Amino acid sequence: MSAPLAERMRPTSLADYISQRHLVGPEGSLKAQLQSGMISSMIFWGPPGTGKTTLAQIVANESGRPFYTLSAIDSGVAAVREVIAKARKSNDLFTAKNPILFIDEIHRFSKSQQDSLLGAVEKGWITLIGATTENPSFEVIPALLSRCQVYVLNPFGKEDLEVLLKRALEEDDQLRAKKVTLKETEALIRLSGGDGRKLLNMLELIVLSEPGEQVEITDQMVLQKVQQNTVLYDKTGEQHYDIISAFIKSIRGSDPHAAVYWLARMVEGGEDVKFIARRLVILASEDIGLANPTALVMANNTFQAVNLIGYPEARIILSQCTIYLATSPKSNSAYAAIKKAQQLVKQTGDLSVPLSIRNAPTKLMKELGYGQDYAYAHDYEGNFTPHEFLPEEISGTSLYAPGNNKRELSLQTYLKGLWRDKYDQGS
């Protein structure tokens, strides 16, 4: 069986490695180590599919060192010691080119497992390269972290992903067997989330699933073949969802009479009390929201109460909450805001958190610029000072539009006083 496309396209030299120019470019610190031949222990920290494993293999290849690998998922202390023993045998002369031990997902190693590496790293029996998607400041023990250089790998940028696509279509024999036209790339790049492995695997899925010798890839095709659709779990049939739909729409439409009627239909039909209460909690936020924040408190208390009481008395609690929600002012501003924000995330991908508002509890993170130039609101008059909290690429974007109700109109006035350009009437 053929290896996945991402594996077939894995580069073996620095010249073919895409992205992470801050590490492997002309001025890159990792490239300088390779040129000098003095390779220190290091940890690659970055999201999935950014080339951590590939880079470790390239370091071993280009430095001419034996390469041993462990996965933290299925390797205990005994396995670590066994590999270290093998590495020592391959390096009896203790030359500068000591073997490399690569540990994938090193953040999954327990303290005892990490402790078992310390002696080998200190004595130069191995050069450790760890890969992690988690912050090493929290997941790697201080004694080991202090002996390693930490290199941050970033998600692949759009240009890098486009290079990956072009290279795969030009160089991979299985893809070249078909005449592939890459008409549009936006959907592939967006769905990849900066993950090169995911991008290549999606490309292979699309090309190989198309019949015939010619394949024209469009955004619509990608969305149809790759995007997952949520499947509704229908426990008791169509009427189950028709009646809950009527119930929700009656409350949303501020009709307490119809709402209580549909509630009674569900109660008489033996509907799960938790199911009804759960939907009331959702509605309290989706359809009432900031117009009456107490609605969510009422709905949540209802959910807790009916779990304690059960039928038949729970019907009274459900009725009280239903009438309260139906007669509350309505606003879907919170729902609209998160929907708009999710759409923006899907369009723009995984944008980096601005350095000024990243958490910086460790020395390493402060050295990387985390938290620098952050303006602490409570140090300013009125506990406010303008600061950009969104990623640079979407700076100034407005997502929350206050609803046309008494409470949110007062919120609009307050917010407009702070952010005059974002909260004008009708924004």
Specify the pLDDT at position 232: 32
- Which residue carries 């619509």 as its tokens? 220
What does the pLDDT look like over 367-399, one tens digit per residue?
888 888 888 889 888 888 888 888 888 888 888
6's CB contacts (< 8 A; 6+ apart) are: 49, 196, 197, 200, 201
> d(Cα 144, Cα 232) in Å, to the nearest integer?
48
Sign of CA pseudo-dihedral 277, 283, 286, 289: negative
Specify the pLDDT at position 425: 45
Q: Which amino acid is at 263?
A: L
Strand residues in 51-118 grouped as ranges (E):
67-71, 100-104
Nearest to 259 by CA among 303, 299, 319, 300: 319
Fold of domain 20-152: Rossmann fold (3.40.50)
Q: For the domain bounded by 158-226, which CATH number is listed?
A: 1.10.8
Architecture field, domain 341-418: Orthogonal Bundle (1.10)
182's enclosing H/E stretch is strand 179-182
115's CB contacts (< 8 A; 6+ apart) are: 141, 143
Architecture field, domain 238-326: Up-down Bundle (1.20)
Low-confidence ranges of the chain (pLDDT < 50): 92-94, 228-236, 425-427
Specify the pLDDT at position 228: 45
Q: Do domains 158-226 and 238-326 have the same CATH topology?
A: no
Q: Enter the pTM of the model.
A: 0.62
Question: 408 and 402 in contact (C-beta within 8 Å)?
Answer: yes
Specify the pLDDT at position 94: 46
Residue ranges of the domains in the chain?
20-152, 158-226, 238-326, 341-418
> d(Cα 248, Cα 259) in Å, to the nearest integer?
7
Helix ranges, 255-386 (H): 256-268, 273-283, 294-309, 314-326, 333-348, 363-367
Specify the pLDDT at position 233: 28
CB-side exposure of 308: number of CA atoms within 13 Å?
Answer: 7
Q: Which two tokens stand for residue 11?
A: 């580069």
